[in-house]
Amino acid sequence: MPELPEVEAVRLELAPVLTGARIARVDLRRPDLRAPLPLDFRSRLENQTVLSLTRRAKYLLGTLSSGDTLVMHLGMSGSFSVDAAEEGASGRRVPDPHDHVVFHLSSGARVIFNDPRRFGFMDILSPAQFATDPALGRLGPEPLSAAFDAAALARACRGRKISLKVALLDQRVVAGLGNIYASEALHRAGLSPKRRASTIATQGGAPREAANRLAAAVKQVLTRAIDRPAVPGNYRSPRFRVYEREGEACPRRGCDGTIVRRTQAGRSTFFCPTCQR
């Protein structure tokens, strides 16, 4: 599943194409993705201008001139492509059976959503719906924002008996952090994923030194990953220190440990039991 850096890379690709463009026409190749599309989905999008394209956790948010917000999620296999050729011109992208939604823009470009497994999601929300949306409303701070720091992380983990890895995957603790980068951040911080979450905070909820290391590591791994996003389906990138590296030597200088794989909350966790404490 694409994680926050990959979603941010998609946003950076789409924003110059969508921002300021009018959606001239919307082709819906099917009535649903993971869930049914709203019956008025097409009519509320056509002839609207996209004022901005932002990201919240793993959601892409298109603010429209009507005041509505187009909410998009890639799911497990969703992807966007941009066809910049003008209508009728050669060089158009060859249609694919899994091209489910096509946005035709006033510029002549097309933005195409492809999703073989159909776990992606699209909705359109009015301002009132957006303000009260349960999925968006329960998200915690953005990991790359000033709101996420050691103090915020410690407060969220105070008194929690779950493992530190599972806490990091709780979207109320930090929004958008997924399985891959949680493992990577824990290794960079030198913290065991099996460690109890409460151990990074004092009884009063103040951050211990471990919380400082972990908050900094989260920001570092995500920032680096946004600069060099992974290719979907190819997660053995050299930039990953532990993810999918079971049996390999720990890359930490001076550590003679070996990366192991364990399952936590149904997800694979990769870590070094020698240097992660």
Domains and CATH numbers, the chain: 4-137 (3.20.190.10), 150-240 (1.10.8.50)
Q: Which residues are catalytic, by number? A: 2-3, 58, 267
Q: Cβ(269)–Cβ(165) under 8 Å?
A: yes
pLDDT tens digit sequence for 126-153: 999 999 999 999 999 999 999 999 999 9
Residue 189 DSSP class: H
pLDDT-derived band at 235, boundaries 50, 70, 90: very low
pLDDT-derived band at 230, boundaries 50, 70, 90: low
pLDDT tens digit sequence for 259-269: 999 999 999 99
CA 136, 142, 145, 147 dihedral sign is positive
Residue 148: CA count within 13 A, CB half-sphere: 25
CA 176, 181, 183, 189 dihedral sign is negative
Interval 227-249 mean pLDDT: 75
Interval 42-52 mean pLDDT: 98
pLDDT tens digit sequence for 240-253: 999 999 999 999 99
